[in-house]
Structure 1
Amino acid sequence: MDNGISLYPGLENTFEENLRLLNVAAENKVKRIFTSFHVPETNFNEFQNQFNQLMKAAAQNEMEVISDVSPAALALLGAKKLNLSLFRIRGIRRLRLDYGYDSDVVSELSRNTCGIGLQLNASAVTADFLSELEQKGADFSRMDALHNFYPRPGTGLSEGFFKEQTKLFQKKGIKVGAFVPSFAGPRLPLRKGLPTMEEHRRLSLELAARHLCALGADSVFIGDGRPSDQEIKTVAFLQKDTVILKVKAEVQNTQIKNLLQGVFTARLDEARDAVRAQEGRDVFRDVSVEAENTSGRSFGTVTLDNNNYLRYKGEVQLIKNPQPADEKVNVVGKIIPEELFMLKYITPGKKFSLEFI
């Protein structure tokens, strides 16, 4: 995944603090940086002092810098009109086009020869606008999209709208990213986090990021500018198109536990009562699964069919509807309560993985 962090020169971080965050991201193979010129609290002089040095460090680490474009952005860069070569010279490799640019301008910009990629606003661009771009010969291969973040509580996107907008772009072959908030260093002035989705304001960065992956996001950015090293590492190691669930372990056998933490695929023939892993029986084909902890199975229970189930031995299930105890079925873990909602995203054909705690 092409995930990223956000840096805001001239805001509250010193140059040294921003440079350290950039280096931590680079060390963890995070290759993208989002920066915004729209923050009213930005100190213009400090911005000018930091920006070029940070862009140089980004280039040395082969990181792509994404900047929004607006009259305010042009002013901070000392320009009166949109000149792509100016952005290229300053080290910016992708421009996020916000309000005020019509389909004619965007189409033309997408065919630029400066090596600048474009980024559309995934939260605001409509189906009609995308159709106009298509009709005018816009080069979608030079574009991706990124949702907004929302500093004020109560203004973030709903899950339904997020999914609808994301699919709108992905149907055109355009990858879509979104923001999660940092709880280590929420950005001023409100310090309430910078999430794309409103419900992520109450979740940990890790769970919010995994939720975005489950919803099909192609990239995840930390919106706030003072994340912890651990939050950066979390974003660095996300798995695309995989629902990762934390599970309280109820199995002692180390070999079985390790095998259960692989990547599985939900069967296409969806069962009413459980998510069935299509690889389970093959994974455990040559492993003896002795009967143990054959207790009742509540919603969110993870089970493994034992040797008594004969040719079904090794079947891995995530329980959706409660089922009684069965001497042929071992209870190997339970999805932790705060992550039970993630079970609904494991639809037929979706990959999932278990992380025992």
Structure 2
Amino acid sequence: MENGISLYPGLDNTPDENLALLERAAQAGIRRVFTSLHIPETDVAALKQEIGSLLRAARRHHMEVISDVSPATCQLLDLPEFNPASFRMLGITTLRLDYGFSAEEMARLTHRFPEMRFQLNASTITNRILKDLQDAGTDFSHIDALHNFYPRRGTGLSEPALVHANILLHRYGIRVGAFVASQGRRRSPLGDGLPTLEEHRDETAELSARHLVALGCDSVFLADSLPTDEEIQAIGQLQGDQVTLHAHYMTKDPVQRELLAHTFTSRLDEARDAIRAQESRPLLREMHATIHPDNTTTHPIGAITIDNETYGRYMGELQIIRMPQPADPRTNVAAMVDESECNLLQYITPGRKFSFQFDSETDRTRQKLSFISERES
């Protein structure tokens, strides 16, 4: 995935903080930077002084720099007129054309400036806009899309609105990105986070990002001014085109744990009560291993089960339970999806890939001790 951070020169961070943020993002494997150059609260003099060093640093790391564009942007950057080549020379490689450009102008830009990329506002896209762009001869290979973020509480998108826009854009082969809020330093003036989806406003960036991937987003951007190192690492390691679930082991058996480490595909013949892994039984045969009965307890929602040797040819069958089931001596409960993430099960549709991310035993012990300490205080 091509994920990103956001930089706001002349706003909350010092120049050194912005440069350090860019460096940390590059080290984490992040290769995209979004910047907005017409926020009313920005110190324009500070922005003009800082923007050059940030763009040079991004160029050193071969990072794509995305900027929204308006008439005020040209004035701010001392450009006499709107000319994509001038932005390219400054180090801005993608222009987000939010408003004021007709379909014909957009089409012409994609052909006249093949070295540039142009970005649509995914949050306001309609089928009519996309059809007009197609009829005008737009080269969609130079186009992608990015949703808005929403500073004011209660104004973020709903999940159905985001999914509808993503489906429209994907029909035309256009990749789509969206924003998650940070729990670090949140951008002024409101400080309420900058998510695309309203439900993500107070959610962790890591879980929000995995939710966006499950909803069909192709890239995720940290939107706020100074995200934490943990958030940067999570976005840098985010995997695309699959649903990743946090889970915890219910077994110490190395064979079951090894099997759980793989990426699976949800079978096309969808079961009513469970998500069935397509590859688990063949994988176990390749391992030349046996699953012995172990933790054959009841199967609540979110249980990750593996059939043991007493199930005959079904040995190695891996399922995620969607409807509670009674205990079965032929089936082991090998792990559990974290309760807060069971809502993600609905996005593991037939043919969709999924995998598990397990906390280390040390992390889980630390979390339990922290919970006990908080409860006692």
In the superposition, the TM-score normalised over structure 1's length comes to: 0.98
Q: State the 1:80 CA deviation.
A: 4.5
**Residue aligning to 2:47:** 47
**Residue aligning to 2:293:** 291
- Report SS of the residue matched to 2:38: coil
**Residue aligning to 2:362:** none
Contact 1:85-1:114 at 8 Å conserved across structures: no
Which residue identity lines up with residue 43 of structure 2 in the other structure? N
Which residue identity lines up with residue 216 of structure 2 in the other structure? G
Q: State the 1:133 CA deviation.
A: 0.8
**Residue aligning to 1:244:** 244
C-alpha separation between the residues in 2 aligned to 1:248 and 1:59?
41
Which residue identity lines up with residue 163 of structure 1 in the other structure? V
Contact 2:213-2:240 at 8 Å conserved across structures: yes
After superposition, the Cα gap between the structure-2 partners of 1:322 and 1:114, relative to the gap in structure 1 and judged at 3 Å, is closer
Relative to structure 2, which stretch is displaced further, 312-321 or 283-292? 283-292
Which residue identity lines up with residue 132 of structure 1 in the other structure? D
C-alpha separation between the residues in 2 aligned to 1:236 and 1:85?
30
Unaligned ranges ≥5, structure 2: 360-377
**1:229 matched to 2:229:** yes
C-alpha separation between the residues in 2 aligned to 1:255 and 1:289?
7
Give the structure with the larger helix fraction: 2
CA deviation digits over 1:275-315, x for unaligned, max 9? 00011111222211110111111111110000100100000
Identity among equivalent pairs (%):
48
**Residue aligning to 2:184:** 184
**Residue aligning to 2:371:** none
- Report SS of the residue matched to 1:110: helix
**1:148 matched to 2:148:** yes
C-alpha separation between the residues in 2 aligned to 1:217 and 1:80?
36
**Residue aligning to 1:338:** 340
Unaligned ranges ≥5, structure 1: none
C-alpha separation between the residues in 2 aligned to 1:215 and 1:241?
10
Q: State the 1:114 CA deviation.
A: 6.2
Contact 2:255-2:291 at 8 Å conserved across structures: no
Contact 1:169-1:175 at 8 Å conserved across structures: yes
Which residue identity lines up with residue 213 of structure 1 in the other structure? V
What is the RMSD of the two structures over their aligned residues, measured on CA atoms? Answer: 1.1
**Residue aligning to 1:354:** 356
CA deviation digits over 1:138-168, x for unaligned, max 9? 1100010000000111111111010000111
Q: State the 1:102 CA deviation.
A: 1.6
Which residue identity lines up with residue 232 of structure 1 in the other structure? I
Map of 1:56-205 to 2, 5 A cutoff?
56-113=56-113, 115-205=115-205
Contact 1:84-1:114 at 8 Å conserved across structures: no
Which residue identity lines up with residue 289 of structure 2 in the other structure? V
Contact 2:118-2:142 at 8 Å conserved across structures: yes
Contact 1:98-1:120 at 8 Å conserved across structures: yes
In the superposition, the TM-score normalised over structure 2's length comes to: 0.93
Contact 1:5-1:34 at 8 Å conserved across structures: yes
**Residue aligning to 2:372:** none
CA deviation digits over 1:223-255, x for unaligned, max 9? 112111211111111111111111121111133
C-alpha separation between the residues in 2 aligned to 1:104 and 1:11?
35
Which residue identity lines up with residue 345 of structure 2 in the other structure? L
Which residue identity lines up with residue 177 of structure 1 in the other structure? G
C-alpha separation between the residues in 2 aligned to 1:66 and 1:112?
19
C-alpha separation between the residues in 2 aligned to 1:230 and 1:185?
13
- Report SS of the residue matched to 1:120: strand
Q: State the 1:31 CA deviation.
A: 0.7
C-alpha separation between the residues in 2 aligned to 1:244 and 1:225?
26
Map of 1:13-24 to 2, 5 A cutoff?
13-24=13-24
C-alpha separation between the residues in 2 aligned to 1:29 and 1:213?
18
